[in-house]
Structure 1
Amino acid sequence: MIEAYILIQTRAGTARDVAAEVSAVPGVLRAKAVAGPYDVIAQAEGKTVDDLGRLVIARIQQVEGISRTLTCPVVEL
């Protein structure tokens, strides 16, 4: 499995709702509202990098309230 953290910026006042909706997306392990330059951080996984990309583009980025995402794949050193 390919794992990644998705850093999410949201419109003002939507972080809690975005975190709840993103956490319900299949393939997302957890999503939490946070303080700082990003409003929500999600941990997700997919069988391949392509699957992970489709998860972010087709499912996560479609959640109402999200303005920008940054996907950070986990690397095993």
Structure 2
Amino acid sequence: MVTSIILINAERTRINEVAEQLQAINGISEVYSVSGNYDLVAVVRVKTNDDLANLVTKQMLAIEGIVKTETMLAFQAYSRHDLEAMFAVGM
């Protein structure tokens, strides 16, 4: 499984529209509207690097209103939610 975080700048008048189109893409598990230097953050979980490349260079490219993206590849996950789920088995 490949996990990626994509930081997105969108045209100001299209942020909500872009977010809705992003969340409809298979492989994007979450989209957040955020404060700071970026408008949106998308969390991507796909099977392969090729799937990620296709998502970023073809599917996201087709969305009008995206001005700029920065894609970060996750190496390892540290999540309290994962630990809680693991220890909750059998309770």
Structure with bigger strand share is: 1
Superposed structure 1 runs of 4+ greater than 3 Å apart? none
* Paired amino acid for 1:19: A
Structure 1 alignment gaps of length 5 or more: none
**Could you tell me which residue of structure 2 aligns to residue 68 of structure 1?**
68
Structure exhibiting the larger radius of gyration computed from Cα positions: 2
Deviation at 1:61, TM superposition (A): 2.5
Superposition RMSD in Å: 1.3
Deviation at 1:57, TM superposition (A): 1.0
* TM-score (norm: length of structure 1): 0.90
What are the Cα deviations for residues 1-37 of structure 1, in whole angstroms up to 9, with x where unaligned? 1010110111122111111110111111011211111
* Paired amino acid for 2:39: D
Q: Summarize the alignment of residues 1-77 of structure 1 with structure 2, pairs less than 5 Å apart.
A: 1-76=1-76
In the comparison of the two structures, how many residue pairs are matched? 77
Structure 2 alignment gaps of length 5 or more: 78-91
* TM-score (norm: length of structure 2): 0.78
